[in-house]
Amino acid sequence: MLTNHKKLAKTSGRPGKTQLINHFLINSNWFLVDLPGYGYAKVSKKTKSIFQEFITDYFETREQLVCAFVLIDIRHEAQTIDIEFMSYMGESEIPFCIIFTKADKISKVKIDSHIAAYKKQMFANNWAEMPQYFVTSATESTGKEELLTYIDEVNQEVFKNNPNNSEF
């Protein structure tokens, strides 16, 4: 959705399809990195454990990481695994935003209800505030401009603070 290239990243209706770290160079300027999911996937426990290990290793050792996007299917109510993963991100001081996906699949009322449930869970887990979040739909390009504007602002800040380092 972000690049207007439908076939750039392979997607599947089956969770667990992404099993590698995929780097996409955007505008010859910065990288968007796609990691395997950390949660629900139709893979063995051993494979899921391997995914989780290299995901956490990536987050904990990647010096150039500016912001992680945690993608959450908005059709589902707050999932324990998502809350736990975001807690890990917060405890590890890894900057992240939440990207609620598939907003075209449910009503605005349900979207608001599910986001409220996430806020409630986050506050129950001692978060002072809800992390920045975006509601998106790849099908309808919902949230695309807001997300691209945010990415541009973050990149401008990074490049302003690191003018000699053009590799992010």
What is the pTM (predicted TM-score) of this model? 0.86
Q: Which residues contact 23 (CB under 8 A, 6 or more apart)?
A: 31, 32, 33
Tens digit of each residue's pLDDT (9 = 90 or more) over 114-153: 999 999 999 988 888 999 999 999 999 999 999 999 999 9
Q: Domain limits of the chain?
A: 17-65, 66-157
Reference 137, options 97, 107, 161; nearest CA is 107
Q: Residue 114 corresponds to which tokens in the numbers above?
A: 């599910």
Answer whether residue 70 shows pLDDT above 70. Answer: yes
Pairwise CA distance, residues 133 & 67, whole Å: 12
Over residues 21-28, the mean pLDDT reads 86
DSSP string computed for 114-141 = HHHHHHHHHHHTT-SSPPPEEE-BTTTT
The confidence band for 168, taking pLDDT boundaries of 50, 70 and 90, is very low
In the chain, pLDDT over 90 holds for what percent of residues?
A: 43
Answer whether residue 17 shows pLDDT above 60. Answer: no
Instruction: Give the residue with greater pLDDT, 87 vs 49.
Output: 87
Task: Please state which architecture CATH assigns to domain 66-157.
Answer: 3-Layer(aba) Sandwich (3.40)
